[in-house]
């Protein structure tokens, strides 16, 4: 197998041990291993100078798997390498919550042995695609997001108005700190912390969640994922922020933002016994009660 390894480009206490354990397993399996060029710089000299390891700064369709080492945020950055290539991603969790990076560090050999034996399933995750009019170079090159696209205020404590149209029909103007359009994958992220609903990954829906709305009747709204969402911002400042997962750009208020379902998916590798409902119970502690 031809495998790409991606992680944070800073040193974390437990990452080195995980990388060494992972690399030993992969080389035992005679895999062809590529490290992302910045990530390998955080490793020890033995790994950096190993003749068994190659480097990449971009990927092509010849890769069989990308292994992300970190948390969910690391996977969100990893998809910018995978793009529409269809390379499956599996996450080893050295972060905190881990809705996407579900393999724990003590499960590396077991989980990867199952993957090498073909004992896994693929969860296809919908993405959002954004365009701006007039065009903006900051979001043109990497104009997609796996979790959410969020509009928010910049350089002000004043609220902004986000005029919102669905399939060219006027919905409302949110008077708020911002607005989140979330995928099912992102429903357990920023949207959830702003009061949005949890959506199962296989649902064909998006969620519109206002951020601290002053319209007291404003509530999260579930919409079909074939909906075109058009946003226009007005406020005391001349600019606003748009974030695509963890990537942020500044746009002028004269910009019209259009968001639609992307024309490709991200393939997440899951263990056969792993389910979204089980992950929900574990990560959100559903059912946990000190009285029980």
Question: Is residue 131 a contact partner of residue 143, using CB atoms and an 8 Å limit?
Answer: yes
- Condensed to tens digits (0 to 9), the pLDDT of residues 174-230 reads 999 999 999 999 999 999 999 999 999 999 999 999 999 998 899 999 999 999 999
The first and second tokens of residue 59, run together, are 């990927």
The structure's pTM equals 0.92
Look up residue 223 and give its two tokens.
């919409």
Q: Write out pLDDT tens, residues 40-93.
A: 988 888 888 888 899 999 999 999 999 999 989 999 999 999 999 999 999 999
- Position 216 scores a pLDDT of 85
Q: Residue 62 and residue 109: Cα distance in Å, rounded?
A: 24
Q: Mark whether 72 is an active-site residue.
A: yes
Angle at 225 between CA 221 and CA 218, to 5 degrees: 10
Average pLDDT, the chain: 92
Architecture, CATH, for domain 2-118: 3-Layer(aba) Sandwich (3.40)
Spatial separation of the C-alpha atoms in residues 48 and 19, rounded to whole Å: 12
Q: List the domain boundaries for the chain.
A: 2-118, 127-263
Catalytic residue, chosen from 13, 64, 72, 138, is 72
Q: Is the pLDDT of residue 137 over 90?
A: no
CATH of 127-263, one of 3.40.50.300, 1.10.10.350, 2.60.200.30, 3.90.870.20: 2.60.200.30
Residues whose CB falls within 8 Å of the CB of residue 102, separated by 6 or more in sequence, listed in order: 91, 93, 270, 271, 274, 279
C-alpha to C-alpha distance for 283 and 280, rounded to whole angstroms:
5
Nearest to 160 by CA among 255, 53, 237, 82: 237
């Amino acid at each position: 197998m031809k495998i790409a390894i991606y992680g944070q480009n800073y040193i974390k206490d437990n990452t080195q041990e995980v990388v060494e354990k992972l690399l030993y397993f992969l080389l035992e399996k005679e895999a062809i291993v590529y490290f992302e060029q910045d990530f390998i710089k955080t490793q020890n000299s033995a790994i950096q100078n190993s003749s068994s390891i190659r480097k990449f700064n971009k990927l092509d369709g010849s890769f069989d798997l990308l292994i992300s080492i970190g948390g969910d945020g690391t996977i969100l950055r990893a998809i910018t390498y995978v793009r529409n290539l269809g390379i499956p991603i599996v996450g080893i969790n050295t972060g905190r919550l881990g809705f996407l990076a579900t393999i724990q560090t003590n499960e590396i050999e077991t989980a990867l042995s199952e993957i090498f034996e073909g004992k896994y399933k693929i969860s296809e995750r919908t993405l959002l695609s954004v365009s701006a009019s007039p065009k903006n170079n900051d979001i043109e090159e990497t104009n997609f997001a796996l979790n959410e696209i969020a509009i928010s205020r910049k350089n002000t404590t004043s609220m902004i108005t986000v005029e919102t149209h669905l399939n060219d029909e006027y919905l409302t103007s949110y008077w708020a700190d911002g607005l989140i359009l979330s995928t099912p994958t992102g429903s357990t992220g920023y949207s959830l912390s702003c009061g949005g609903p949890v959506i199962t990954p296989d649902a064909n829906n998006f969620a519109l969640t206002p951020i601290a709305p002053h319209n007291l009747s404003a509530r999260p709204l579930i919409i079909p994922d074939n909906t075109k969402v058009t946003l226009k911002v007005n406020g005391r400042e001349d600019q606003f922020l748009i974030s695509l997962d963890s990537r942020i750009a500044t746009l002028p208020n004269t910009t019209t933002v259009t968001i639609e379902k992307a024309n490709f998916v991200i393939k997440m590798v899951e263990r056969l016994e792993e389910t979204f409902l089980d992950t929900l119970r574990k990560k959100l502690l559903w059912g946990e009660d000190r009285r029980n």
